Amino acid sequence: AQKVTQAQTEISVVEKEDVTLDCVYETRDTTYYLFWYKQPPSGELVFLIRRNSFDEQNEISGRYSWNFQKSTSSFNFTITASQVVDSAVYFCALSIYNQGGKLIFGQGTELSVKP
Partner 1 sequence: EAEVAQSPRYKITEKSQAVAFWCDPISGHATLYWYRQILGQGPELLVQFQDESVVDDSQLPKDRFSAERLKGVDSTLKIQPAELGDSAMYLCASSLNVGGGKDEQYFGPGTRLTVT
Q: What is the 3-state secondary structure (H, E, C) of 9-36?
A: CEEEEECCCCEEECCEEECCCCCEEEEE
Interface pick for partner 1 out of 33, 64, 65, 112 (rule CB under 8 A): 33
Contacting range for partner 1; rule: CB under 8 A; set: 15-23, 59-67, 70-78, 98-106: 98-106
Which of positions 38-97 make contact with partner 1 (CB under 8 A)?
A: 42-47, 50, 52, 91, 93, 95-97
Pick from 80, 87, 107, 112 the residue near partner 1 by CB under 8 A. 107
Rounded least distance, CB 2 to partner 1, Å: 11
| Cβ pair 61, 38 in contact under 8 A | no
* Cα distances (angstroms) measured from residue 30 to each of 27, 54, 99: 8, 9, 13
Per CB under 8 A, the segment of 16-24, 58-66, 68-76, 100-108 that binds partner 1 is 100-108
> Residue 87: how many CB atoms within 10 A of its CB?
17
Distance (Å) of CA 5 to CA 16, 47, 98: 27, 18, 22
- Note the residues at the interface with partner 1 (CB under 8 A): 4, 31-33, 35, 37, 42-47, 50, 52, 91, 93, 95-103, 105-108
